[in-house]
A and B are shown apart, each in its own frame.
Chain A
Amino acid sequence: MKCRIPISRLLCWLALCLFPAEALALVQDPVGTLGARVEGALGSFRAAAGWETTEVNVQLGSGESAQLRVPLLARRQSMELSMGELADAEDRVTWMEPKVTWPAPWGSLPYSLQGRSLSPLENSSPSISGLHWAWLGMSLLLVAALRRRPYRALLLGSALAGSLFLLPSAAPAQAPQVTLFEGDAPSGRWLEVRGAQDRLSIEGVQPGWLRRLPSNAEGRLELERGSGSTWAACFEGARIYYMCETSRHPQPGIQGPGRRAMRRTWLRRPGEGWSAHGAWPVSQGFPEAIAGDPGPPGWLVAGLPQGVGVLLGELEPEAGGSAWVRLVGFELAP
Chain B
Amino acid sequence: MNSKAGAPASGGAIGAWRLAAFVLTLAASVAPIFLGQAWPELFGDASRLAMACTPWVVIAGWPSGNPVARDWPLALGLALPVWALAGWLDLRLDLGPGRLQATLAAALLMTICLGEARTQASSSAPRAYALLWLLCLGALPAAALALSWGSGNLVSDGGPFGALGAFSPVTSLWRDVQPAEGDLARRGLDSALFCPASLVSVAMAVGFAAAARRSAGGRAR
Contact = CB atoms under 8 A, between A and B. Distances in A.
Contacts of B94: 123, 237
Given A147-B13, A150-B11, A237-B94, A128 B77 contact: no
A65 interface: no
A164 B85 contact: yes
B83 interface: yes
Contact of A154 (B26, B69, B76, B88): B76
A156 B81 CA distance: 10
Interface residues of A, number: 32
Interface string B71-103: 111101111111111001100111000000000
A128 B37 contact: yes
B19 interface: yes
B70 interface: yes
A117 B123 CA distance: 66
A322 interface: no
Given A123-B94, A136-B85, A147-B14, A158 B37 contact: no
Given A128-B33, A157-B78, A151 B84 contact: no
A153 interface: yes
A157 B81 contact: yes
A208 to B, nearest CB: 27
> Which label, helix, strand, loop or mixed, suits the secondary structure of the B interface?
helix
Contacts of B76: 154, 157
Contacts of A144: 78
B40 interface: yes
B77 A143 contact: yes
Given A123-B45, A128-B89, A140-B26, A149 B11 contact: yes
B138 to A, nearest CB: 26
A157 B88 contact: no
A127 B14 CA distance: 35
B84 A146 contact: no
Nearest to A165: B88
Contact of A139 (B19, B45, B69, B81): B81
B81 A136 contact: yes
Interface string B1-37: 0000000000111100001000000100010010011
Main secondary structure of the interface of A (DSSP, over half): helix
Contacts of A155: 77
A192 B69 CA distance: 67
B136 to A, nearest CB: 24
A151 B82 CA distance: 18
A146 B74 CA distance: 8
A164 B79 CA distance: 13
A169 B89 CA distance: 11
Contacts of B78: 140, 143-144, 153, 157
A160 B19 contact: no
**Max count, chain A CB within 10 A of own CB: residue among B30, B73, B82:** B73
Interface string A130-151: 0010011001100110111111
B81 A126 contact: no
B92 A172 contact: yes
A143 B80 CA distance: 10
B93 A157 contact: no
A161 B80 contact: yes
A205 to B, nearest CB: 30
Nearest to A164: B84
Contacts of A146: 74, 77
Contacts of A154: 73-74, 76-77, 80
A157 B85 contact: no
A187 interface: no
A136 B101 CA distance: 21
A153 B78 CA distance: 8
A125 interface: yes
Contacts of A150: 11, 69-74, 77
Contacts of B93: 123, 126
Most buried by A among B76, B77, B83, B89: B77
Given A123-B45, A150-B11, A161 B74 contact: no
A140 B81 contact: yes
Given A143-B81, A146-B74, A150-B69, 14 more contacts: A125-B40, A127-B37, A128-B37, A136-B30, A140-B78, A143-B77, A144-B78, A154-B76, A155-B77, A157-B80, A164-B84, A169-B88, A169-B92, A172-B92
A-B CB proximity, top 10 nearest? A157-B77, A126-B92, A153-B77, A161-B84, A125-B40, A150-B73, A139-B81, A154-B73, A161-B80, A150-B74
Interface of A: 123, 125-128, 132, 135-136, 139-140, 143-144, 146-151, 153-158, 160-162, 164-165, 169, 172, 237
10 contacts: A128-B33, A132-B88, A143-B78, A146-B74, A150-B11, A158-B80, A160-B84, A161-B80, A161-B81, A164-B85
